[in-house]
Each structure stands twice: as C-alpha cells, then as structure tokens.
C-alpha cells in the first residue's frame, strides 16, 4: 500500500515474478494484510524453508520484514515501493521496482548488523514495552511528533511536501520539547536526535559520516528550541551542510539512551524507520551479524 503509484503495483509484481522465474528463482507473491503482518509472514516463510525473501514497500514495511528475519540466515532483497525510499537510495538501488528486481539474480549477499530499540509503546496500552529491530534509523523528538499528523490520503497526493507542511505546523503550534541523550561519557540535551546507520534521512543525504556496513551508529543531535533556528537546520539539510552548524552535535556510538527531561509534562516520541513507535525512555543498541542483505554487486 506504500508509494504514490500503487495502482500499478500488481502488474509490476507479475512482471517481476516472470523475470525472476526465467532466472531460475521461483517466487510466491503474498500481500501484507495489516500493520505488523510483515513480521509474522517473514517468520512463517523462514519456517517453511524459504531460500530468499523479497520485500516490496516503503521503509516501514521493510522494517516489519526485517523484524521477522532478524538473526536468521535467509537473505533479504529490497524493492523500493515507498514515498522516500531512504534505504534504497543508500544501497544505490534503482527507485523503479522492476529495475531494482533485475539486480536480484546477480546480487551480492552481505552479512550486516541491525539496530535494536527497547522503549515504551503508545498503543495498545501506554507503558507496554517495545523491543524492535531496525535496519536504518531511530528518530527522537521533533520528527516523530510530525508523524502523528501525517495522513495517508495527503501523503499519497503530496508525498514529501505533506511532511514539510506538517513539520512547519508542528514547529509553530507545539514547539520543540527537550530530552536528554546519553552515550558513554557523552550527555547532552536535544530537541531532535537521529540515530542512524545509513547516510540518507528519507530522500536527503543528511548523515554524511554514517557507514551503513559498519557496526556502529552515527548520532546527530539538534539542540535549539527556536523556530528560526530549525528553518536554518532545514536549509542546511537540503544543501548537505547540516554538520557544519556549530550547535549541531554528531558522534559515533554503539549504544544510546534517550530520556525525557525531568519535570517535563510533554511526552517525547520516537519513530523507527519512518513509523511512529512510542515514547521515551528508550535504549538503542547495535546487534552485530544479524541479517543477510542482498546488495548490488
């Protein structure tokens, strides 16, 4: 259901199936049925002896399948069918899913690390715990708050413009609640933190120091609580110069703790691979040797 051209998706998948079967890879197409179903479907495929799992969708759907495959030996291939497709951009895959599928027969399997986040869920019951793997990133604070206002129909019509409009609305009406970020001896206050493995934040190459195939995160922390400063952050993000701003803190880490500021009455939320997940506190850590990913040769 991801992306802006999903009415074409069935025909594309049938052509992809035909191409892969001509290459000696028999494929069974299955559709996710509800949020979270990708996890159970991936686990079932592994139990039934699948040699390969191909996921077509946005970063959120990819995350579900990754959670079902974590720590297994079955390889994963990605077909970018979402709005931003940050992971596909990181892997330098074609953004057209049929072109991306042509890479699969000659792709290179690579064993990689995953991230893991433990925190508090928003639903079904506040206070319930979430323990979730991820391939790309955790965003804490402002960007997660923006996701509370993203509507599926407007996202389909406007794509990334809808995110920009809602970000401006959130900045004007709700501000930037602070929280603390701790990693080793580093401890600081931020209003937005990105704990990332790839360089891409959505369609933007934001975290230029990140190394996707390493066993560590790259953390970016933005501290300001002023709208004018956030507009400068946005401009610097678009031009690839965010890390040059003197108040932006960036560092590598393998484990990070984020907590709400003492006495704050505003909950601070977090997102995982572009999907709203819960609220602070959270612990984020690297899990080495956790997934086999097919990448372009």
27 within some domain: yes
297 within some domain: no
Of 65, 90, 112, the last residue of a domain is 112
295 within some domain: no
184 within some domain: yes
Q: Are 195 and 217 in contact (CB under 8 A)?
A: yes
Per-10-residue mean pLDDT, the chain, length 297: 70 95 95 92 97 92 96 96 87 93 95 96 70 95 78 48 64 79 96 95 87 96 92 86 94 97 86 91 98 93
32 and 153 co-located in one domain: no
Number of domains in the chain: 2
153 and 216 co-located in one domain: yes
193 and 235 co-located in one domain: yes
Residue 117, pLDDT score: 97
Query: What does the DSSP 8-state code read for residue 261?
Result: P
Write down the pTM of the prediction.
0.89
100 within some domain: yes
In angstroms, how far apart are the furthest CA atoms of the chain?
A: 62
Nearest one of 125, 126, 90, 283 to 202, comparing CA atoms: 90
269 within some domain: yes
108 and 126 co-located in one domain: no
12 within some domain: yes
240 and 256 co-located in one domain: yes
Q: What is the CATH number of the domain that holds 197?
A: 2.60.200.40
Q: Where are the beta strands (DSSP E) in the chain?
A: 53-57, 75-80, 108-121, 129-134, 137-141, 179-183, 186-190, 192-196, 200-201, 204-205, 217-222, 249-253, 255-260, 269-272, 275-295
Q: What is the CATH number of the domain that holds 26?
A: 3.40.50.10330
The token duo for 91 is: 């892997």
Residue 153, pLDDT score: 46
69 within some domain: yes
Half-sphere exposure of 44 (CA within 13 A, CB side): 7
137 and 70 co-located in one domain: no
270 and 150 co-located in one domain: yes
- Give φ, ψ of 15 to 5 degrees: -70, -35
Residue 55, pLDDT score: 96
172 and 105 co-located in one domain: no
Structural domain containing residue 207: 115-289
141 and 199 co-located in one domain: yes
Residue 144, pLDDT score: 84
- Give φ, ψ of 136 to 5 degrees: -110, -70
The token duo for 185 is: 């001896």
Residue 152, pLDDT score: 52
Residue 280, pLDDT score: 94
Of 78, 112, 146, the last residue of a domain is 112
Of 87, 112, 137, the last residue of a domain is 112
153 and 103 co-located in one domain: no
165 and 48 co-located in one domain: no
144 and 281 co-located in one domain: yes
Residue 72, pLDDT score: 97
Residue 235, pLDDT score: 87
């Amino acid at each position: 259901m991801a992306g802006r051209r999903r009415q074409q998706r069935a025909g594309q998948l049938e052509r992809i199936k035909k191409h892969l079967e001509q290459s000696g890879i028999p494929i069974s197409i299955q559709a996710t049925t509800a949020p979270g179903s990708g996890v159970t479907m991936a686990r079932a495929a592994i139990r039934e002896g699948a040699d390969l799992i191909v996921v077509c969708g946005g970063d959120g759907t990819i995350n579900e399948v990754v959670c079902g495959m974590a720590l297994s030996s079955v390889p994963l291939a990605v077909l970018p069918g979402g709005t931003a497709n940050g992971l596909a951009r990181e892997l330098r895959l074609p953004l057209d899913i049929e072109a991306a599928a042509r890479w699969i027969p000659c792709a290179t399997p690579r064993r990689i690390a995953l991230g893991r986040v433990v925190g508090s869920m928003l639903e079904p019951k506040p206070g319930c715990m979430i323990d979730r793997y991820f391939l790309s990133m955790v965003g804490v604070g402002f960007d997660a708050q923006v996701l509370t206002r993203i509507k599926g129909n407007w996202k389909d019509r406007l794509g990334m413009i809808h995110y920009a409009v809602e970000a401006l609305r959130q900045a004007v009406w709700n501000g930037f609640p602070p929280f603390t970020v701790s990693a080793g001896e580093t401890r600081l206050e931020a209003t937005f933190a990105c704990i990332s493995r790839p360089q891409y934040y959505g369609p933007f190459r934001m975290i230029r120091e990140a190394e996707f195939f390493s066993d560590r995160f790259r953390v970016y922390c933005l501290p300001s609580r002023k709208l004018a400063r956030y507009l400068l952050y946005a401009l610097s993000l678009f031009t690839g110069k965010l890390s040059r701003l003197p108040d932006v803190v960036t560092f590598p880490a393998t484990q990070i703790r984020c907590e709400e500021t003492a006495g704050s009455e505003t909950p601070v939320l977090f997102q995982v691979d572009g999907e709203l997940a819960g609220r602070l506190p959270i612990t984020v850590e690297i899990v080495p040797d956790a997934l086999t990913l097919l990448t372009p040769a």
